[in-house]
Amino acid sequence: MNKHTLILNDFVIESHVKNALNEDIGFGDITTDSIVSKDKTTKAFLNTREDGIFCGVKLFRKVFEVLDKNIKIEFCFNDGDAIKKGDTVAKIEGNTNALLKGERTALNYIQKLSGISTHTNKYVEKIKEYKAKVVDTRKNTPGFRLFEKYAILQGGGSIHRFNLSDCVMIKDNHIKYAGSITKAVELVKSQISHTHKIEVECDTIKQVIEALNAKVNIIMLDNMEISDIEKSVKLINDNAIIEVSGKVTLENIEKIAKTNVDIISTSSLINKAHTLDLGLDF
């Protein structure tokens, strides 16, 4: 999936933004309403205080559109663009009351998403010479999954399952319940559509061999040492897609990619990303 294939539906964005504004504004912004006249207008500039990958155009714009449909916003960069410390990312002009009320919510969206895109891009750049793709996981913030996965794509990464209905992933607890990988695969094959792929999480070489014999589509090598990953790659021999997950860091991702695996998935793209420092200057 490339960065243009996950579309942020306007209805979904507006619903999310309205809930966010209701949460933040509550019964009214008592500070702004007390100080700023309702007919006052202002120019403001969205500036970045550090380098990164920008993300969140639609969400930022929607915050202010909800508060005042007449606010004008001119973006100097698009989602996925690299921005440098000191860059003006957008120019905003409109009702001062609305700008002040929406400032924090709008910044929260773009700071978080730009942070994820920026952090993802660091992983992508580390292994750009290898065939492996950098992929996220389902360790998302509840209610924010669509936007986090969108940010992953803007940073140059790829996404794993969007939700549990996308494909079968047989994990250690499934295997324990079924009794074996073989039995678990038999059970899912009897229930699922022919269009669904089957992935199995393997902790040992023995499990890799069993998954291969069960003819699964994807084998995840979970928390394996590099030596065991190398052995597994030779065993699998292109008979399944190979994914590595667990304890992936910026420091070791290149070593993993060198083993010739297809996918490297990590929750760090989201969980270890810091918010990018952007500010709205009046």
pLDDT tens, residue by residue, 19-72: 999 999 999 999 999 999 999 999 999 999 999 999 999 999 999 999 999 999
Residue 47 contacts residue 93 (beta carbons within 8 Å)? no
Fold match flag (10-124+274-281 vs 128-271):
no
Helix or strand holding residue 18 (H, E): helix 10-25
CATH T-level assignment (fold) for domain 128-271: TIM Barrel (3.20.20)
Catalytic residue among 38, 43, 128, 139: 139
Condensed to tens digits (0 to 9), the pLDDT of residues 146-188 reads 999 999 999 999 999 999 999 999 999 999 999 999 999 999 9
Of the residues 136, 201, 210, 262, which is catalytic?
Answer: 201
1 pLDDT exceeds 50? no
Active-site pick, 79, 136, 148, 222: 222
- 82-83/52-53 β-pairing: antiparallel
Say if pTM beats, i.e. exceeds, 0.85.
Answer: yes
* C-alpha distance across the termini of the chain, in Å: 38
SS3 31: helix
Domain ranges in the chain are 10-124+274-281, 128-271
| Active site (annotated) includes residue 139 | yes
Q: Is the predicted pLDDT of residue 8 greater than 90, yes or no? A: no
Q: Is the confidence at residue 2, as pLDDT, over 70?
A: no
To which CATH superfamily is domain 10-124+274-281 assigned? Answer: Quinolinate phosphoribosyl transferase, N-terminal domain (3.90.1170.20)
The predicted structure's pLDDT at residue 7: 78
pLDDT of residue 80 exceeding 50? yes
Q: What's the pLDDT score for residue 5?
A: 58
